[in-house]
Amino acid sequence: MYSELFKTFSSQTENMMSPFTSYNEMLVKNIEETTNLQLEAMKKYADIGINQIKNATAVKDVTSLIEFNTKQAETFTELSQSLIEDGKRMSEIAQSFKGNLDELAATAMKKAAPTT
């Protein structure tokens, strides 16, 4: 008798906690993806900045100054493109999380709705 009661209680508790567990798993995945994106971006932008400093210190005459300025335009274009790509990736991560969250909410609502 007690074992059947315990099994029922355990099953009901598991069903009740299932959406919370799923939400936590989705949240951790989203945080992990966002953090990885940010770390990659920080490294990429730090490398660009360091290279710019190195290139600036290499300017010794008018010719090297002209070359540096030309490379500045190329670097700015590369940086702009990189920022756009990172923004798109961040948007994709957010949209994926929202879609998964909507799906989880819909599933939870179906389970919670009384059957007639």
**Mean pLDDT by groups of 10 residues along the chain of 116 residues:** 73 75 93 96 96 94 93 93 96 95 87 68
Residue type, 41: A
d(CA 23, CA 72): 45
pLDDT score, position 108: 81
pLDDT score, position 116: 57
d(CA 97, CA 29): 9
pLDDT score, position 88: 97
pLDDT score, position 103: 92
| Cβ neighbours of 88 (radius 10 Å) | 10
pLDDT score, position 81: 96
This prediction's pTM: 0.74
Indicate the Cα dihedral angle 103, 105, 111, 114, nearest 10°: -130
